[in-house]
Amino acid sequence: MDFVELKANIRKTSGSGVARTLRSAGKVPGVLYGPSVDPILLSLDVNELETSLKKGKMGMSIYNLAIQNGNTTNRSAMIKELQTDPITRMFLHVDFYEIALDRKIKVNVPLIPIGKSKGVELGGILQVIRRELEVFCLPNEVPNSIEIDVTDLEIGDSVHVEDISLDGGIEIPAEVNFTVITVIGARVDEELEEEAEEVEGEGAEEGDASESKGDE
């Protein structure tokens, strides 16, 4: 888990007009909220926010917000939502969610297979069903990724979520023992493609027949 420093200022007013004024001045409107804090309206420097995003991964970084309002108050938070303009990619608004470093949180972590499986060496195909897994742990224990060694996987083998063991107090709060990685045979994959082509061919023949009847 990355820890990133970021400055923010209190803003007293809200509304679309205020937001436009802030953006034209190189600021980004934001808000901090959480289970034990009333929403706090913020403004952030767009360049500082952009730099902080490059230092860590959004959704996996803890921000030490230095909130300035005469005095400086430090709050630990994560970015819950970052709104951007779909065309200009300009930052429109950022939502921070306050967290306590001694309380567990849920966060999605990338899943990375490592090694080359025996099944792939025999012509199989490795399929990663889940690219991310949700974990439940303390903020300072969030792993950057979950690595799964696939070396011993044969064709037809799978890794399920309950097969994954993590260090410390990290949990995977899954209600179903779903598949995360599997190795399938190339022949099975080819048969599925052939079936799909046959269905498409039958559909085309039916269409040609219908056109011929219409011409008659």
pLDDT, tens only, 82-133: 999 999 999 999 999 999 989 999 899 999 999 999 999 999 999 999 999 9
List, as one string, the DSSP characters of 15-45.
Answer: SHHHHHHHHHTTEEEEEEEETTEEEEEEEEE
List Cβ neighbours of 164 (8 Å cut-off, separation of 6 or more).
Answer: 133, 146, 148, 172, 180
DSSP 103: S
Nearest 10 degrees: CA dihedral of 157, 159, 162, 163? 90
- How many residues are listed for the chain in this entry? 216
- The candidate with the shortest Cα–Cα distance to 64, out of 143, 6, 138, 132, is 6
Q: Is the pTM of this model over 0.85?
A: no
Bridge-based pairing of strands 132-137 and 27-34 is unpaired
Domains and CATH numbers, the chain: 2-98 (2.40.240.10), 105-184 (2.170.120.20)
186-210: pLDDT as tens digits: 765 555 556 556 656 555 555 554 4
189-198: long-range pairs with CB below 8 Å, 24+: 189/125
